Amino acid sequence: MWELIRANKRKSAFLITVMFGFMLFLGWFIGMYIDPVYGGYFGILAAFVIWLVQFLIAAASGGKVFLAGSRAVEVTKENYPQLYNVVEEMKIASGLPAMPKVYVIPENHMNAFATGTKPENACVTVTSGLMSRLNRDELQGVVAHEMSHILNRDVLYMTYCGIMLGTIVFLSEGLLWTFRFGMLGGGGRYSSRSKSSGGGGGGAQVAMLLLALVLAILAPILAQLMYFSISRKREYLADASAARLTRYPEGLANALEKISRGKVVPEKTSKVKAPMYIYNPEEGNAMKFSSLSSTHPPTEERIRILRNMSHGASYKDYQKSYSQTHEGKKSNLIPEGELEKEQSVSKRSPAERLNEMSGKEKAREIGDMIMTANSFRFLTCNCGLKLKIPPDYKHEKVKCPKCGTLHNVAAASAAAAAV
């Protein structure tokens, strides 16, 4: 495991260094375009400061910045033990030093992601749609996958790269904005210097303008390709680690199959957040992604690798299945040093599914948990109907829509709280 983490760090450090240098180069170029004498230094400084401010915000928030605006509700052992216990089991199996915070986002599509710059401030987040549609083995596979991202330091590196991508996009869009409104096109310092330097300056200015325009368009695309290349490899490794932690590769395979066949997709997915998810929400679109522009490996391929692990759940078994799937290509996913030290890991049988709730029952229970976290009050009428009273309800009484009984809200709420 530690050899795998070290190898992961080395490869990621190289790509992050390249991406960071590319970000500083873009800042230098924009600065030089504005002022050919001293602008480059100020451009590099501006790019670095923009990146640093965003990184400090992400580091201070412990990854919660990615949850902003998502209406995420924190899960505890008291308000939803089913999910909390699964996360706790995988925390113990993975050897993480601290229990991640657990969140549920009230959205009907199925997905999950991990955030946090270190294990001590990590978060595991799932959607309510995923919770209601997966059984325990499948949920355990998804949680183990996200826990693997935390353990392998994937979340830290993807946070670094996501912020760099955001900075590059910000700089490029700022440059394009200045072109659009003509702030640099004819009245900039570079323009006035060019005019004063004679006829040759005009050609140089046009060349500089065209180069700046091309760079402003291509920079975000190139940065995204680097960002996505880091993400794709880490998805395979997280699948391998999840199979090893759960000793049941079929659980994650079944979960990925259900998620990929889900008909509900989010309206819009941030390009920075997309690699964080266990499944790319855009993969189901009619337009087929190329291998370079996708944040994740093909889901069908990930499922096939997991289901071909017929002999065990170790890294060796995953590597063997991965190599068979990528026959004829360079297929060394896991370092040789890790494979040499790896012991066999036997597969377990699926968990017994006694008294498991239906999807509708799960969805209702999750909905009640989210409402409770949002200060809703619950009253059970004598007719059996559960009344769900929002926190901004101001009347003293509420009428049951089924039988017409009037309930005293304050008295009934106090009685329910005393139970």
DSSP state for residue 277 in the 8-state scheme: B
For residue 292, what are the contacts with CB-CB under 8 A and spacing of at least 6?
Answer: 225, 228, 229
73, 369 contact by CB (below 8 A): yes
User: Smallest Cα–Cα separation from 330: which of 319, 339, 338, 341?
Assistant: 319
Give phi and psi for 380, each to the nearest 5. -105, 115
Question: Catalytic one among 138, 146, 282, 342?
Answer: 146
Q: Report the C-alpha gap between 405 and 398 in whole angstroms.
A: 8
326 annotated as ligand-binding: no
Where does 62-153 have alpha helices with state H?
Answer: 81-94, 128-133, 136-151
109 annotated as ligand-binding: no
Is 146 one of the catalytic residues? yes
HSE of 175, CA atoms in CB hemisphere, 13 A: 29
The span from the first CA to the last CA of the chain, in angstroms, equals: 48
Q: Report the C-alpha gap between 193 and 186 in whole angstroms.
A: 11
CA torsion sign for 251, 254, 257, 262 is negative
235 annotated as ligand-binding: yes
Binding-site residue ranges: 145, 149, 235
- Give the catalytic positions in this structure: 146
Binding-site residue ranges for Zn(2+): 145, 149, 235
